[in-house]
Amino acid sequence: MAGERYVDHTVLEAFVQSRVNVPREEAKERRRQVNYLRERLEDYIAAEPDFDLVKLRASGSTAKHTAIRRRSGTGSDADVAAYLRTTDTDIDVTTMRTWLRDCCIKVYGATKDEGDFQPSDHAVGITMRSSGLKIDVVPVLYTGEPDDRGYLVTTDGTKVPTSVTLHLQFIKTRKHEAGDGYRAVIRLLKAWIRESKEVNPELRCKSFLLELLVAHLWDVGWNGQPLQVDDYPAAIEQVLSYIVRTGLTTPIVFTDYYTAGEVNAAADPIQVWDPVNPENNVARGYTEQDRQRLVDHASTTLDTISLAAYAATKGEALDAWRKVFGPTFPGE
């Protein structure tokens, strides 16, 4: 196809390096901010009642090496899991987030406003105004189980099993088999969905969902072919084609740490199960409209990439890919 000589693996690889991957200085600043928080939080919590700090673990995209660089004025998240335990059997564990938020506020003292500390469903978000970085500190109730297993606690008191160690091992195992291209494909898809949400804020597709779609296609392949992690345009087409052809209506289950029989039937429009917790559908809360919107957008993107592949000129091919990744593509 004519367009393949214009936008091929080499072009996308250069784009990943120049526009998608986290720059060395940005990564250094993330580590500095996280280390500062870790050191101060360890000291502060040691003197506090209610909960004891067992450990702090880097988690999320930064720990998995699937994070993408932040844009001007916005910050990519750095995630830290705070494993907490208590010997007080009467304590209300649903207060963990509020308690942790108060601890974080006291750690930074007068250097930050209270508005810089925002609790979400499972975390306390801390915004660093100087750098634009946002650190999500996730409280995990620790009960002494192996592999850093613990429980996220929702506002209604539901305990959701999780494990930072096993989540990291899940992606590490596949990257070891596939090579560096595995994580790069994930980063490219994250860059695509971020650009897509800029255009359509109603589009829903969390980063973790993309990671699990790539993991699934690495495990089982698509259309009789393995996931082409050493050919980025082909890999992106495979993931988009999977979304379009299946409509995301086929449940995805991983059996690294539990059996398929442990997953309970669900009525959610999209069902992609957390590889560590057979009770957690990572797409829970997505509506049928959310599913259809994501499938339709994948279809439109797939058409755009196909047009780029048949483009008569380099300019036409680049213009098509700019609809996928934004005006900075190819980042030369």
Residue 195 confidence (pLDDT) above 60: yes
Distance in angstroms (rounded) separating the CA atoms of residues 235 and 222: 10
Q: CA nearest 82: which of 129, 46, 32, 128? A: 46
Distance in angstroms (rounded) separating the CA atoms of residues 279 and 21: 33
CB 34 within 8 A of CB 80: yes
147: its two tokens:
């592999």
At residue 73, the pLDDT reads 44
CB 80 within 8 A of CB 37: yes
At residue 332, the pLDDT reads 63
pTM here is 0.92
At residue 127, the pLDDT reads 87
At residue 48, the pLDDT reads 81
Helix axes 314-325, 181-199, angle to 10 degrees: 80
What confidence category does residue 1 fall into, taking pLDDT thresholds of 50, 70 and 90?
Answer: very low
Distance in angstroms (rounded) separating the CA atoms of residues 176 and 172: 6
Distance in angstroms (rounded) separating the CA atoms of residues 5 and 327: 20
Distance in angstroms (rounded) separating the CA atoms of residues 203 and 210: 14
Residue 75 confidence (pLDDT) above 50: no
Burial letters 198-208, b for 16+ CB under 10 A, else e: eeeeeebbebb
CB 120 within 8 A of CB 136: yes
Place of tokens 């899940």: 170
At residue 277, the pLDDT reads 96
Distance in angstroms (rounded) separating the CA atoms of residues 117 and 257: 34
Mean pLDDT computed over 203-209: 96
**Domains along the sequence of the chain with CATH:** 2-19+168-325 (1.10.1410.10), 22-162 (3.30.460.90)
Distance in angstroms (rounded) separating the CA atoms of residues 27 and 78: 10
Q: Residue 331, SS3? A: coil
CB 105 within 8 A of CB 70: no
How far apart are the two ends of the chain, measured CA to CA in Å?
23
CB 239 within 8 A of CB 189: yes
171: its two tokens:
């992606």
Tens digits of residue pLDDT in 98-156: 899 989 988 887 788 888 998 887 888 898 877 778 889 999 999 899 999 999 988 77
41: its two tokens:
């939080």
223: its two tokens:
């259309």
Residues 6 or more apart whose CB falls under 8 angstroms from that of 196 comprise 203, 205, 297, 301
